[in-house]
């Protein structure tokens, strides 16, 4: 962009051109809103001061001090090192880090850059250009906010504050970090440096395309600026690249001061944050204490192949924020190796309050020991909504984990999840209401191939999981008190170990409408707990759903179901009932009962010492002995056991005799008076025993 202007002066009573005047381009200053004589100056929002800047009131050089510099700023205050007298309406000139140590400025400390050529290759010395014989001047800039100070030598002529059409919006104006750089040319070999002190709250902070470097970048947002809608943006990830060179350095935006947990309306987007050294900070990109329509989008964190990171993205005590697309890229899945990220994206709370209600559109993590983590050491996370999550490592390394959800996390929803080349896929401990609507777990195991599970739920309460399991050692594991979970496995895949293991004490629903290619293990902690329950919840007074069996495709099917009276029913391929076992244990065959071995009934013994009734229910053979007296026993009438065959056998007569009369519920050819070894064969019909045969042996 070009700025062309003209300086007019008064010569006698006539106007004239200001020839050979110096026009110095300065960073925007400030307008005072109320008079004061202390260290705090109240100004209008949109000022351009930062810590370390030197100040002059208008063109009055006597108000300059080489030692009374700016200590700190907010969007509406400038805090001086010592008292400074101002009146309402005063214009404060921003002389930047002027090198003067005397009573007057050297006019060499402006914190921005202007150019004398259109291609931005030649910079103006001290941001100063000289007027021609007609008072004209020209310079080129990159859309920055500027004031102009006109002087002849050290004599000040005028101050122009309207050179850039400054916006009157309360959130302030743009600060172009490339213009604040004190060194570098913005290339990967020569990144811009020295700009980081000017990356402060209350502005639209701009990182034009190019390369930047700083030991750390820290942007605290104070309570007075919580609604200032601070915007920090680059031209796009991969285009605006910031390298953090401090071992514990961060690109950090956070709420600062008592009661300032919230950052309302903060927007951060379009940046690559890259490690320039092994980094052990809580997060190379850190966004803390955010609330109220804050947005993080198009941010790329890169460990590079040379360095390792403890954490890529760190979101601390955040709620009601929107995350667009973020990517954490490592270069090695080996823990602590060059290029490794220990945790790709971490959501964390430690303030004792429930946080959450966070929406994330897309998270991608590559080559991390743990891809995505949600945890808490105080408070909880609730309402975590993830659209697309992809965690994939380049090689399979033992000890790696795709997603970790720890205690005090609830109402977690995943849309599309892709987990690949990991030791374990998703592990959730004591998580309530976990939902995954479209998951893929591929190549989940360890290098030995004998461990690792796609999904492990420990102590979960309520959830719904739909996930394709492909080339995993184990599929899904439910443990401890996990209850009220539904698991559906989509599409077939290779399971080396066990597809599904439920050793929890809860009641879960799983394997709905699925084909099981591998073994199924269901372990229960007590015999009284049902391992598998099939219940018809749609229509009352109907049989249960069927448990269907088929040797292979094309073969006839067989099935089991429970009838309305609790009887276990055997179904043929067409669905008709061909046999039952009722609650009393009675087996009913629809047609034939065929055995390749012996068919035996239950045998009982009866020692007669009187004329008592002999029990017959559920008995097939009764061995009778008589030890004393002439006994005349009777038989207990059959009870709805039509067709039951009963054989009475006299085993021994040590004394007396036995007589079974042809009367009552016994319909015999004659009274049965057996000798030792004699038998009587009867058949039940209604409540009568009918004689079929007898023998004397």
User: What are the boundaries of each domain within the chain?
Assistant: 2-160, 217-438+447-459+475-486, 534-549+557-591, 603-695
Taking the CB of residue 66, how many other CB atoms lie within 10 A of it? Answer: 15
User: Read out DSSP for 321-379?
Assistant: EEEEEEEEE-S--STTSTT-EEEEEEEEE-SSSEEEEEEEEEEEEESEEEEEEEEESSS
Bridge partners (DSSP) listed for residue 438: 416
Range 158-183 average pLDDT: 66
pLDDT of residue 539: 61
Q: Is the pLDDT of residue 393 over 90?
A: yes
Q: What pTM does this model have?
A: 0.61
Contact criterion met (CB below 8 Å) for 297 and 269: yes
Which residue, 603, 637, 638, is CA-closest to 620? 603
Range 605-630 average pLDDT: 88
Label each residue of 107-153 as H, E or C.
CCCCCCCCECCCCCCCECHHHEEECCCCCEEEEECCCCCEEEEEEEC
CA distance 300 to 277: 17
Q: Where are the alpha helices (DSSP H) in 398-509?
A: none
pLDDT of residue 230: 77
Handedness of CA 365, 371, 376, 380 (dihedral sign): positive
pLDDT of residue 518: 54
Q: What is the pLDDT confidence band of residue 519, given thresholds at 50, 70 and 90?
A: low
Higher-confidence residue: 601 or 40? 40
Q: Is the pLDDT of residue 166 over 60?
A: no
Contact criterion met (CB below 8 Å) for 446 and 425: no
Mean pLDDT, all residues of the chain: 87
Tokens of 138: 């020209």
Range 377-403 average pLDDT: 95
Report the phi/psi class of residue 62: left, alpha or beta, with left for phi > 0 and alpha for psi in -120 to 50: alpha
Higher-confidence residue: 336 or 484? 336
Going by their DSSP bridges, the two strands 409-422 and 294-302 should be labelled as: unpaired
CA distance 306 to 277: 8
Q: What is the pLDDT confidence band of residue 564, given thresholds at 50, 70 and 90?
A: confident
Contact criterion met (CB below 8 Å) for 475 and 469: yes
Specify the residue for token string 């698991």.
487
Higher-confidence residue: 427 or 485? 427
Give the strand order in the sheet containing 55-57.
30-31, 91-94, 55-57
Higher-confidence residue: 36 or 564? 36
CA distance 32 to 89: 5
CA distance 113 to 182: 9
Question: Which range has the worst mean pLDDT, 122-126, 577-581, 590-594, 638-642?
Answer: 590-594
- Environment class of residue 62 by beta-carbon count within 10 Å: exposed (0-12), middle (13-18) or buried (19+)? exposed
Rg for the chain, CA atoms, rounded: 44
CA distance 405 to 455: 11
559-to-365, 570, 585 alpha-carbon distances in Å: 46, 6, 19
Range 623-634 average pLDDT: 89
Range 340-364 average pLDDT: 94
Report the phi/psi class of residue 225: left, alpha or beta, with left for phi > 0 and alpha for psi in -120 to 50: alpha
User: Read out DSSP for 284-303?
Assistant: SEEEES--SSEEEEEEEEE-
Contact criterion met (CB below 8 Å) for 468 and 489: yes
Which fold is adopted by the domain 603-695? Jelly Rolls (2.60.120)
Specify the residue for token string 């209401």.
433
CA distance 132 to 136: 5
Q: What percent of the chain has pLDDT over 90?
A: 53
Specify the residue for token string 């008190």.
481
Tokens of 92: 């404060």
Range 306-331 average pLDDT: 96
Q: What is the pLDDT confidence band of residue 462, given thresholds at 50, 70 and 90?
A: confident
Phi, psi of 504, deg, nearest 5: -80, 170
Length of the chain: 697
């Amino acid at each position: 962009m070009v700025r062309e202007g003209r300086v007019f002066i008064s010569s006698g009573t006539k106007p004239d051109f200001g020839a050979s005047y110096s026009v110095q381009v300065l960073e925007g200053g400030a307008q005072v809103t109320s008079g004061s004589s202390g260290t705090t100056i109240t100004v209008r929002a949109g000022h351009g001061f930062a810590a370390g800047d030197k100040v002059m009131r208008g063109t009055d050089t006597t108000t300059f001090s080489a030692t009374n510099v700016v200590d700190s700023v907010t969007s509406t205050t400038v805090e001086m090192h010592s008292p400074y007298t101002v009146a309402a309406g005063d214009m404060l000139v921003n002389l930047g880090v002027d090198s003067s140590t005397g009573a007057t400025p050297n006019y060499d400390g402006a914190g921005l850059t202007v150019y004398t050529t259109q291609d931005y290759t030649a910079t103006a010395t001290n941001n100063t250009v000289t007027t021609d014989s007609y008072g004209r001047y020209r310079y080129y800039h990159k859309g920055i906010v500027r004031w102009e100070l006109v002087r002849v030598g050290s004599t000040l002529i005028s101050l122009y504050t309207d050179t850039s059409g400054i916006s009157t919006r309360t959130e302030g104006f743009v600060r172009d970090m490339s213009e604040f750089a004190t060194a570098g040319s913005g290339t990967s070999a020569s990144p811009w440096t020295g700009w980081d002190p000017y990356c402060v709250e209350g502005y639209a902070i701009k990182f034009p395309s190019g390369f930047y470097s700083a030991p750390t970048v820290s942007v605290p947002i104070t309570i007075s600026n919580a609604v200032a809608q601070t915007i920090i943006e680059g031209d796009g990830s991969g285009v605006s690249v910031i390298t953090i060179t401090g071992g514990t350095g961060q690109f950090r935006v956070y709420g600062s001061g008592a009661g300032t947990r919230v950052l309302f309306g903060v927007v951060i987007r379009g940046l690559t944050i890259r490690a320039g050294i092994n980094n052990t900070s809580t997060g190379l990109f850190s966004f803390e204490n955010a609330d109220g329509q804050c947005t993080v989008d198009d941010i790329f964190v890169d460990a590079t192949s040379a360095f390792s990171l403890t954490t890529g993205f760190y979101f601390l005590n955040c709620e009601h924020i929107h995350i667009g697309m973020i990517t954490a890229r490592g270069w090695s899945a080996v823990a602590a190796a060059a290029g490794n990220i220990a945790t790709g994206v971490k959501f964390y709370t430690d303030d004792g309050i429930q946080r959450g209600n966070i929406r994330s559109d897309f998270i991608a993590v590559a080559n991390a020991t743990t891809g995505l983590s949600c945890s808490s050491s105080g408070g909880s996370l609730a309402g975590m909504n993830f659209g697309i999550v992809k965690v994939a490592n380049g090689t399979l390394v033992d000890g790696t984990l795709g997603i970790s959800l720890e205690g005090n996390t609830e109402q977690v929803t995943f849309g599309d999840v892709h987990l690949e080349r990991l030791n374990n896929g998703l592990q959730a401990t004591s998580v309530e209401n976990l939902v995954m609507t479209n998951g893929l777990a591929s190549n989940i195991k360890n290098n030995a191939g004998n461990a690792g599970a796609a999904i492990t739920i420990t102590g979960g309460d309520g959830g719904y999981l739909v996930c394709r399991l492909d080339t995993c050692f184990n599929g899904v594991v439910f443990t401890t008190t996990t209850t009220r979970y539904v698991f559906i496995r989509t599409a077939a895949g290779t399971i080396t170990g066990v597809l599904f293991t439920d050793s929890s004490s809860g009641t879960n629903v799983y394997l709905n409408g699925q084909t099981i290619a591998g073994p199924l293990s269901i372990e229960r902690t007590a015999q009284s707990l049902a391992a598998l329950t099939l219940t018809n919840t749609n229509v009352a007074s109907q049989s249960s759903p069927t448990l269907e069996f088929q040797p292979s495709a094309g073969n006839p099917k067989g099935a089991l179901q429970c009838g309305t009276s609790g009887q276990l029913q055997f179904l043929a391929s067409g669905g008709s009932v061909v046999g039952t076992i009722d609650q009393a244990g009675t087996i009913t065959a629809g047609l034939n009962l065929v055995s390749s071995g012996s068919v035996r009934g239950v045998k009982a013994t009866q020692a007669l010492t009187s004329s008592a009734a002999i029990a017959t229910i559920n008995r097939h053979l009764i061995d009778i002995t008589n030890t004393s007296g002439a006994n005349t026993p009777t038989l207990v009438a059959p009870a709805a056991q039509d067709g039951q065959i009963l054989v009475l056998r006299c085993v021994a007569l040590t004394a007396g005799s036995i007589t079974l009369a042809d009367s009552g519920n016994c319909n015999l050819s004659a009274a049965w008076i057996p000798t030792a070894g004699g038998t009587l064969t009867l058949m039940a019909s209604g409540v009568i025993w009918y004689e079929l045969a007898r023998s004397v042996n």
